[in-house]
């Protein structure tokens, strides 16, 4: 676990000090009943309608069992076809699969209260997979500085080569957002592999927009 969090901490520091003209960089830590999860994302304009996006996620149990550690780093170059539609090509690192080239689309909508993201992705190697990621955030204003913070984030990945389930999850967050900081209760429900090995995790989260 220390090794995984050290990697994320370094990425967090580098991103915070090197991205001067970017949107806020969300960093979240989830302390659960079975393991710790962390997530860092950034988005930087390259030129015109092109931007670079990175999402790094990690998980480790409290005994640092190597077989339970997870690290996934997703890097994508996006072209903004429309204010709500992006086309992307990228390369991700997966802790079990290695390097994975992919093509993706994303449909997005943002306002102070609502966030909607839907992103289908086609992976070429090591096998052909199709993946769908969806995020819904609801952040109604409670006072001048405080908002309710809720998030539902889901993923489904299907192995097209063997026609088998590969990975899916549903993550829930419920708490408060005060300026750039959000915190509250959280749960992650994960399913792995063709047999849909079930893992759950319940606890608290802390999120900050740098």
Digit-coded pLDDT (tens) for 68-102? 899 999 999 999 999 899 999 999 999 989 899 99
Residue 73 tokens read as 């780093």
Q: Show the domain range for 120.
A: 2-209
Answer yes or no: is pLDDT of 56 > 80. yes
DSSP bridge pairs for 178: 146, 181
Structural domain count, the chain: 1
pTM above 0.75, yes or no: yes
DSSP conformational letter for 176:
E
DSSP conformational letter for 169:
E
- 167 to 67, 97, 102, 159: CA distances (angstroms): 16, 12, 16, 9
Report pLDDT digits (tens) over 146-166. Answer: 999 999 999 999 999 999 999
Q: What are phi and psi of 124, to 5 degrees?
A: -95, -35
How many Å apart are CA 205 and CA 183, to the nearest integer?
Answer: 5
Answer yes or no: is pLDDT of 7 > 60. no
Residue 69: which CATH number? 2.40.160.40
pLDDT bracket for residue 131 (50, 70, 90): very high
Residues, the chain, total? 210
How many Å apart are CA 167 and CA 159, to the nearest integer?
Answer: 9
């Amino acid at each position: 676990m220390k090794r995984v969090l050290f990697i994320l901490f370094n990425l967090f520091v580098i991103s915070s000090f090197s991205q001067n003209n970017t949107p806020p960089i969300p960093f979240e830590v989830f302390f659960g009943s079975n393991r710790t999860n962390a997530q860092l994302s950034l988005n930087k304009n390259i030129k015109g309608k092109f931007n670079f996006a990175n999402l790094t996620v990690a998980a480790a149990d409290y005994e640092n069992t190597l077989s339970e550690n997870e690290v996934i780093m997703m890097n994508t170059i996006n072209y903004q076809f429309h204010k709500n539609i992006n086309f992307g090509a990228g390369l991700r690192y997966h802790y079990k699969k290695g390097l994975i080239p992919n093509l993706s689309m994303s449909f997005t909508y943002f306002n102070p209260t609502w966030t909607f993201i839907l992103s289908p992705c086609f992976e070429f190697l090591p096998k052909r997979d199709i993946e769908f990621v969806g995020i819904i955030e609801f952040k109604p204003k409670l006072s001048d500085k405080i908002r309710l913070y809720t998030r539902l984030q889901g993923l489904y990945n299907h192995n097209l080569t063997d026609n088998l389930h590969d990975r899916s999850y549903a993550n829930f967050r419920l708490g408060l957002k005060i300026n750039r900081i959000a915190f509250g209760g959280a749960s992650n429900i994960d399913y792995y592999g063709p047999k849909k090995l079930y893992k759950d995790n319940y606890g608290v989260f802390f999120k900050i927009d740098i």
